Amino acid sequence: MKTVEFREALREAMSEEMRRDEKVFLLGEEVAEYNGAYKVSKGMLAEFGAKRVIDTPIAELGFAGIAVGAASNGLRPIVEFMTFNFSLVAIDQIINSAAKMLSMSGGQYSVPIVFRGPTASAGMLSSQHSQAFENWFANTPGLKVVVPSTPYDAKGLLKAAIRDNDPVIFMESEQMYGDKGEVPEGEYILPIGVADIKRAGTDVTIATFGKITKVALKAAEELEKEGISVEVVDLRTVRPIDYKTIIESVKKTNRLVVVEEAWPLASISSEIAYMVQKEAFDYLDAPVRRVTTADVPLPYAPTLIDASLPNVPKVIKAVKEVMYRS
């Protein structure tokens, strides 16, 4: 094992796949000459050249469309959005072309493409640059949606995404690019659609994903000091969702809190709460609780950001609500 930053794990995944398959290429704003807005693609232009690491204009709809066309004709593009907030400009190509091409062509055209970049809040960037769209894309048949929380997961899942014959939305976080973690020295691939139990416990299940997994784990550490054993299930993928792992955990703990960085209406947490009550209702000793971002555009002021986003005190409060409900 070796220790690498989150951004390095992503770079290793892309570089290894580009060495393995000449059909794989990267395009997006500042990915080449500038080494990526967050230095994820550092050094890749020098290794692979300007035909495979391509700087694009600030025109997400245009370069997303070019990439969908390339994927439909046998190439395997990786499209980097500087932030998934900017993917809204390209959403017509993602939803109406990439996600539907296989079905609309009667199986004649697959679209092996990865759209990747940071999602959700990243500090004082205000409303237009701080939105979590995982549930938006997960609502679309034809897409797979991956949201890793560690360098290990990021590398293994990105390699799987690049090799997948369907379009994959791969969502990261600006606040995680510097996170460090262990990854194997040799090649490995993680299957898309399989959750991971990041912490075993017996009293309460917390289901979460992405960078908010760190919040859940910290809350679990604090709760352990009070004698509450929390199991943290990291979804890793929100389409498809690994319902089996969540439900099996709930059958053991009899309580569930779902934590995500998104607005509450029609969220991933809503879907999980529904499926758990449908499949494991008789095992629940308390109603499912959710911790989400407040139902407002994210403010700019740091105090208001803290008040809006999921945090450790909110998660602890939710866990205690399901633990001590009479």
Neighbours of 252 (CB within 10 A): 15
- The residue annotated as part of the active site, out of 8, 29, 80, 129, is 129
Concatenate the DSSP letters of all residues of 41-57 into one string: TTTHHHHH-TTTEEE--
> Any catalytic annotation for residue 129?
yes
> Any catalytic annotation for residue 187?
no
CA distances in angstroms from 247 to 135, 279, 293, listed in the order given: 20, 7, 24
Q: How far apart are the first and last CA of the chain?
A: 47
C-alpha to C-alpha distance for 123 and 301, rounded to whole angstroms: 9
Angle, helices 6-20/151-163, rounded to nearest 10 degrees: 30
- The residue annotated as part of the active site, out of 8, 17, 29, 60, is 60
- The letter for the amino acid at 131 is Q
C-alpha to C-alpha distance for 163 and 108, rounded to whole angstroms: 18
CA distances in angstroms from 298 to 98, 261, 264, listed in the order given: 30, 11, 13
Supply angle C-alpha 111, 271, 235, rounded to 5. 65
Neighbours of 23 (CB within 10 A): 15
Positions marked catalytic = 60, 129
